[in-house]
A and B are shown apart, each in its own frame.
Chain A
Amino acid sequence: MYAIETKDLTKRYGKTDALKNLDFTIDENEIMVLLGPNGSGKTTLLLILATVLKPTSGQAKVMGLDVSTQSTRVREILGVAFQEARGFWRHKPADILKFHANVCGVPKSRRDSLIDQIFKDLELWEARNKLFMHLSGGQAKRLEISKIFVQRPKFAILDEPTSQVDLRGKRQIWAQILKLREEGSTILIATNEVREAEYLADRVTILDKGQMVVCDTVRELKDSITGGDIVELEVEAADPRSLQQELSQLEGTVKIASPNSNMFKAYVSMAESWVPRMTDICYRKKARILSIRVTEPSLDDVFLHFTGRALGETPNA
C-alpha cells in the first residue's frame, strides 16, 4: 500500500485547471518533494491531501483513507505546515504550540518538554512569549513549521517550509525534517527551492500547469538529461587536436569545445563513467592532466530540460 495515492485527481477553479488528471504515489517513510513554479498546482495538491480543499474529480488517499469520504480520520494522522502562518495575531507562540499539541493528541507528559525543545532547536526560545503579531517573518515561518515537529504526524505536509528563513534556520529545519523521517513519518514537501529539494528529497515530482511532468530520484532526474554533465579539463598535450577528436568519439560525449589549446569543455552524459575513460585516453596519448572539474546539472536544469522553461518563469496560462 502506498502512503499517498492519487488517481485522475483534478481540481478546477472556474475555467482554470489547477490540477489535471494527476496520478501520483508516495511510499511510506519517503520524503517526496514537489517542485514547480508558482501556479503549477503544488499548493492545491497539498491542500487536497490535507482535506482543506475538495477535489473536483478523481480520488486521493492518505494511508488508505479517502480524503473526500474519510476526511476526519485523515486529519487525525496528518500534520500541515502552511506556506504562511497567519491569523493568530493576538496569540503567543507558546500558546499556539500548546493548543496545536493538545488538539493533535500529543500526550501531556511529553508535550511541554517537546515544545521547549523545538523552541530551542529552532531558535524561537526568546520569542515564545511575544505576541504573534510582533514576530518577524522568519520567526512566524519557523513557528508554523514547529507545529509539525511538535505533532510528529505519520504524514507531514510542508508547503515551502523554509521560505523567508535564513540559511542557518534552513539547515535547522532540514535537520528536523530528516529526523522526523527517521522516526517513520512520510513527508511531502512543496518548494521551488532547488537546493532544498536536492538536500531532502528521496524522490522529486516536477509539476507544471497542474500536471506531473516527471517523478524520480534526484540522481535519475539529473542523469536523464543527455549531455547534462559538464567536464572542464586542463591538459598538457603534444597534439591537442587529436586528443579532442578522440574525446569527442568517446561514448557519452555530446559536445566538446576547446576555448584554448590546453582547455577542453565537454558536455557529457553520466560523467562518473565518462571521466575514467577519458583519463585512459589521456594516458595513452601521453597528455598530462592538470585539472578536472565536473559540474552536474541542477534541478533547475532538469526542470528546464523537461518543461522548456526555467523554474522562476511563470507559465503561460
Chain B
Amino acid sequence: MRNALRLVWFDLKPELKPPVWIIMEWVVFLVQVGVYGAMLSQLVTGVENYNRFFAVGLIIMITFDMASHTGRHFVEHAHEGRLPYLLSLPISRAKLFMAICLQGGTELALMLAVPLSVTFLIIGNLTWMSIIACVLVLFWLGFGVAGLMLGLSFIAFKSSDLYTAIVTGLSTVIIRFSTVLYPFMFLPAQYAIPAAFSPLTYGSDLVRFILGFDPTLLLNPYYAISILTALSVSTLGLGVILIQRLVEGVKSA
C-alpha cells in the first residue's frame, strides 16, 4: 500500500505547486453562491432560503466534476503514454486502481475544503456528527461516480475524444435531470423519471437531509443510502475487475 500512497503523492505534488485550479474552483464557488445564489434566492419562492439549497447543489456538482476528472485522468495516462509505466511498477492492479481513486478523493477533499466550510457556515447550527456524515456521503458519492467514469474510461480507451464526448453528454443529463438544483417534488413527470436514475439525486438529497433541510422536499434517506452504496460498490468492484482483466498499456506508447 505504501507504493500506492507514494504514487498518489507523486501525482498530487505538481498540482499543488501552485494550486491555481483549486483556488479558482473556490473563487467560482464563492461567486456562484454570493452573487447568483443570492439573486436566485429572491426569485425562488417554493423553497425556503433557496441559497442554501443551491450551495449544496454546487458542492454535489464539484464532487461530480472531480470524479469525472479522475476517469479522464486515467484515459489521459493511457494516451500520453504514462499508463504502460504505471502498469510496469511493482504495484498490484487493484492497488493501482485504489491509488487512482485515492488521488481523486484527495483532490476532491482539497477542492471541497472551502465550499464545504462556507456551506456549513451559511447553514449554521450543525453538529460535528452531521458534518462528518455529510463529508462521508460526498466521498461515497465521489467514489461511486469515479468508479462509473473509470469503468467508462476502459470502454472509451481507444479514444480520449470518445471519452470526452460520453462524459460531457452524461454530465449534461446526470446533472440537469437530478435534484441538484431543484427538489424532486417540483420536477415535472417527464423530468422526474430520468432524475430517479441519476446518482446525484440521491447524493444531493442525502446531504441535504443530513444538513437538516425540510425532509418533505427530499427523497427517503434510507433509499438514498442504499442506492449510493449499490453504486459505489458495484462501480468500484467493476473497475477493479476491469483493470485486472482488461487494461493494457496503449501499444503505441
Interface residues of A (CB under 8 A from B): 13, 18, 43-44, 47, 50-54, 71-72, 75-76, 78, 80, 82-84, 86-91, 95, 99, 102-105
Contacts and interface: CB of A to CB of B under 8 A. Distances in A.
By size class, the interface of chain B is 20 to 34
B99 to A, nearest CB: 11
Contacts of B117: none
Interface in B1-39: 3, 6-7, 10, 13-15
Contacts of B191: none
Contacts of A95: 10, 13
Interface of B: 3, 6-7, 10, 13-15, 77, 80-85, 87-93, 248-249, 251, 253
Contacts of A82: 81, 84-85, 253
Contacts of B82: 86-88
Contacts of A80: 84-85, 88
A213 to B, nearest CB: 22
B6 A75 contact: no
Contacts of B87: 50-52
Contacts of B91: 72, 75, 103
Contact of A52 (B88, B90, B92): B88
13 contacts: A13-B251, A50-B88, A52-B88, A52-B248, A53-B251, A75-B90, A86-B82, A87-B83, A87-B85, A90-B14, A99-B7, A102-B6, A104-B89
Contact of B249 (A52, A84, A89, A102): A52
Contact of B89 (A54, A90, A103): A103
A147 to B, nearest CB: 9
B58 to A, nearest CB: 28
Contacts of B15: 90
A310 to B, nearest CB: 24
A76 B92 CA distance: 10
A124 B81 CA distance: 22
B10 A99 contact: yes
Nearest to B77: A87
